[in-house]
Amino acid sequence: MDRRLTREALRLMELHQPFVRATVVQATGSVPGKLGASMIVRSDGTTIGTIGGAALEEEVKALAVRALERRKGDLRHFDLAAWKAGGLPSLCGGSVDIAVEYVPAQPNLLLWGGGHVAHALGEILPTLAYDFSVADDRPEWVGVDRFPAADRREVVAPDRLWTVFNPSEFTHLYLLGYNAEKDLVVLRGAIDRFPNVIGLIASASKREHLFARLRADGVSREALSRVRSPIGLEIGAETPAEIAVSVVAEIVASQHPSALPTRAIASQAVPTEDDVVSRPP
């Protein structure tokens, strides 16, 4: 096992970035990359390590890019023999099987509002080794006694959230606030700054009120369609603990999209403005 690749895999996981690990899992005859040879392909297409170089490596790089796009790995056989039908332009003569393993970005959640749902999430997320931070403008709601496993617990005004946190570090932002006006401030800032999943806990009326205010400010319907509300899988959740379970279940499902049946994938579709289902704030 190459320590450089292990360190790089851990680094990318800590940075919450997806990557692909390609590994020679079977080798027959003369091949440049022996059994166990590995290469990591990052989300920007750069690589570390090698599975043998030349045409084989270029083919596998292309497979890795597709795996990152599809969020799904693969297992491929290659003949390194130019004289064989479908063989690579190589004179080695052997063959290899390459496992292309897609490694999703490890979730890192930013929770705005340290209320009951956030507290319930704080109990569940550590059991999955999911990272999270909590922000609130009320000191008593973000203490270490309330969120002992949080990476960060920040007392911050809603209009200063993005001066304290770097939005690119997080895979999910959930607005779980106690005050609609403050949620609006955070949401307005997140639309332009936060690149990943944005979830808003709200009743249908609260959601429509916030969205109307944002549209009046010039925010497009396309931009607002990024906001998931209600949040979580539809399991009939009502209590804070049940809502937390539904949210975590949705994240788990998004980590393994290829394993889900069609019905489960469809259930994760973001609702339109006419399809809002009420959920207690």
pLDDT in tens, 14-27: 988 999 999 999 99
pLDDT of residue 260: 55
> What percent of the chain has pLDDT above 70?
91
**10-16 long-range CB contacts below 8 Å, 24 or more apart?**
12/40, 12/42, 12/103, 13/103, 13/106, 14/106, 15/169, 16/105, 16/106, 16/107, 16/108, 16/131, 16/169, 16/170, 16/171
Q: Give 90's pLDDT tier (boundaries 50, 70, 90).
A: confident
Q: Give 247's pLDDT tier (boundaries 50, 70, 90).
A: very high
Judged against a pLDDT cut of 50, whether residue 135 lies above it is answered with yes
Judged against a pLDDT cut of 60, whether residue 269 lies above it is answered with no
pLDDT of residue 147: 98
Query: Which of 216 and 280 is assigned the larger pLDDT?
Result: 216
Start and end residues for every CATH 3.40.50.720 domain found in the chain: 108-275
pLDDT of residue 258: 63
* Closest by Cα among 132, 31, 42, 38 to 91: 31
Q: What architecture does CATH give domain 108-275?
A: 3-Layer(aba) Sandwich (3.40)
What is the average pLDDT across 127-135? 96
Judged against a pLDDT cut of 90, whether residue 86 lies above it is answered with no
pLDDT of residue 33: 78
> What percent of the chain has pLDDT above 90?
68
What is the average pLDDT across 190-204? 92
pLDDT of residue 5: 94
pLDDT of residue 34: 87
* Closest by Cα among 52, 48, 57 to 9: 48
Average pLDDT of the residues of the chain: 88
Q: Give 272's pLDDT tier (boundaries 50, 70, 90).
A: very low
What is the average pLDDT across 122-132? 96
pLDDT of residue 117: 96
pTM (two decimals) = 0.77
